[in-house]
Structure formats: structure tokens, C-alpha cells
Amino acid sequence: METLTHIGLDTQQSEKIIEQLNKLLSNVQILYMNVRGNHWNIKGAEFFMFHEKFEELYNDLAEKADEIAERILMLNGRPVHTFSKYLKVAEIRESENVSLMHDCVMEILSGLQFLIRKEREILKMASKNDDEGTVALMSDYIGSQEKLVWMYSSILK
């Protein structure tokens, strides 16, 4: 017999989505710290522009982390909330002392592209579970991050 969460979704499917959302949360948190490090350590003629842009990006990632954690809670899950667990779960790796504009942008692009792939997987799972809340969240993230990938990619051309 199918059991439902308090918001009317299949419990077993929601547990699978929660697991994937926790993986996404872990990757968002690692990317957040990487971008924060880029913000602190950027050097060169591009400093003023990228220092500000990286701050915008890490603030956006912090907001996304909060939204993902809240969605996990809505699905009756528990969000991962320790850096030791993030490091075990995340596929995006920590970076340290990246300070050249090109290297920072390449790292950010790689991270954003990974998040988009992960979000598309979650979107498909959530869609099969009629989990419109998660679908909408992932869809919004994909749209905004695709624009960021386009913009950051344009810098390198």
C-alpha cells in the first residue's frame, strides 16, 4: 500500500528525492565556499568587477542552499548540515587559493554545469512523483544557472 507524506506525495519516491536533494545541497555548499574563496583571492586588473560578481554568485548560492534545505524538510527529510558530510557527499571538490580570473571562471563554470546536470536529474525524479514544488525549484535553478554559464563562458572567448 502506498504511503503519503504530509503534503500528499509518495513516501518512498520522496525519500529518493530527499537523498538527491541532499547531494545537491552538499555540492551547492562546496561551490559556495569555492566562490567565496575566489571572491577573497581574485587578483589582477579584473579584481573590482569579479570581486563584486563573485559576491553576487555566492549570495545566490547561499539562498539556494537554504531553499534546498527547506524543500528537504517539506518532504519529511533532514538536510545535511555539516561540512564533513558535504565533503563526503559532494562531487564538486574543494579548491584553495585560486586567484587568477581565468582559473576562477573555469572552476565556477565547471561547478555550475555540474549543478545543472544534477538539477535535471532531480527534476525528472520529482516530475515522476508529481512533486511540483521540487520541479518548480529545479526548473528555476536550471534557468538562472544556464544564463550564468552563458555569461561566464562569454568571458573566456
The domain segmentation of the chain, as residue ranges, is: 16-155
Fold of 16-155: Ferritin (1.20.1260)
pLDDT-above-70 percentage for the chain: 99
Please say if the pLDDT value at position 1 is more than 70. Answer: no
- H helices, E strands: number in the chain: 5, 0
Q: Where residue 2 falls among pLDDT bands split at 50, 70, 90?
A: confident
Cβ atoms < 10 Å from Cβ of 52: 11
Closest CA to 60 of 150, 118, 140: 140
The pTM assigned to this predicted structure is: 0.96
Question: pLDDT tens, 55-105?
Answer: 999 999 999 999 999 999 999 999 999 999 999 999 999 999 999 999 999
